[in-house]
Amino acid sequence: MKKFKGNFLIGAATAAHQVEGNNVNSDFWAMEHITGSSYKEPSLDAVDHYHKYKEDIQLLVDVGCNSYRFSIEWARVEPTKGNFDKKEIQHYREVLEFCHQNSITPIVTLHHFSSPKWLISEGGWESEMTIDYFGHYSKYVVSKLGELIPYICTINEANMGKQIAKIMKTMKESSIKDRDIQVGLNVDMKSKMEKYYRSLGEVFGIDPRKVQTFLAPRTEEGERIIMGCHEKARQVIKAMNPNIKVGISLSLYDHQALPGGEEYVEKEQYDDFLYYLPYLQDDDFLGVQNYSRKIHGPNGVVHTDDHARLTKMGYEYYPEALEGVLRFVSKHWDKPMMVTENGISTDNDEERVEFIERALSGVHQSIEEGINVIGYMYWSLLDNFEWQLGYEQTFGLIAVDRSTQTRYPKGSLTYLGDIKKSGF
- For residue 105, give the nearest of 71, 72, 141, 66 by alpha carbon: 66
17-26, 188-197, 394-403: range with lowest mean pLDDT: 188-197
pLDDT digits (tens, 9 = 90+) for 364-374: 999 999 999 99
82-91, 185-194, 244-253: range with lowest mean pLDDT: 185-194
The architecture of the domain spanning 9-422 is Alpha-Beta Barrel (3.20)
Mean pLDDT, residues 418-422:
95
pLDDT digits (tens, 9 = 90+) for 59-80: 999 999 999 999 999 999 999 9
What pLDDT, on a 0 to 100 scale, did the predictor assign at position 182?
43
Is pLDDT above 80 for 236? yes
Share of the chain above pLDDT 90, in %: 90
Burial (CB count within 10 angstroms: exposed 0-12, middle 13-18, buried 19+), residue 281 = exposed
Mean pLDDT, residues 22-43:
96
pLDDT digits (tens, 9 = 90+) for 93-137: 999 999 999 999 999 999 999 999 999 999 999 999 999 999 999
Mean pLDDT (the chain) is 94
Between CA 25 and CA 21 the distance in angstroms is 11
Reduce the secondary structure of 99-124 to three states and give it as a string: HHHCCCEEEEEEECCCCEHHHHHCCH
- For residue 293, give the nearest of 262, 265, 316, 327 by alpha carbon: 316
Helix boundaries (H) for 102-185: 117-121, 129-145, 160-177, 179-182
> Per-residue confidence at 206, pLDDT binned at 50, 70, 90?
very high
> Per-residue confidence at 384, pLDDT binned at 50, 70, 90?
very high
pLDDT digits (tens, 9 = 90+) for 320-341: 999 999 999 999 999 999 999 9
Is pLDDT above 70 for 189? no
pTM to 2 decimals? 0.96
What pLDDT, on a 0 to 100 scale, did the predictor assign at position 161?
86
Is pLDDT above 50 for 22? yes
Between CA 280 and CA 110 the distance in angstroms is 17
> Per-residue confidence at 186, pLDDT binned at 50, 70, 90?
low
Phi, psi of 202 (to 5 degrees): -65, -40
Q: Is 157 a catalytic residue?
A: yes
R_g of the chain, CA atoms, integer Å = 21
Mean pLDDT, residues 250-278:
98
Number of Cβ atoms within 10 Å of the Cβ of 391: 18
Is pLDDT above 70 for 179? no
> Per-residue confidence at 195, pLDDT binned at 50, 70, 90?
confident
What pLDDT, on a 0 to 100 scale, did the predictor assign at position 342?
98
- For residue 163, give the nearest of 99, 113, 116, 89 by alpha carbon: 113
- The active-site residue, picked from 20, 32, 157, 231, is 157
Between CA 396 and CA 59 the distance in angstroms is 13
Mean pLDDT, residues 216-221:
92
What pLDDT, on a 0 to 100 scale, did the predictor assign at position 164?
87
Is pLDDT above 90 for 197? no
pLDDT digits (tens, 9 = 90+) for 289-320: 999 999 999 999 999 999 999 999 999 999 99
Between CA 378 and CA 325 the distance in angstroms is 16
> Per-residue confidence at 147, pLDDT binned at 50, 70, 90?
very high
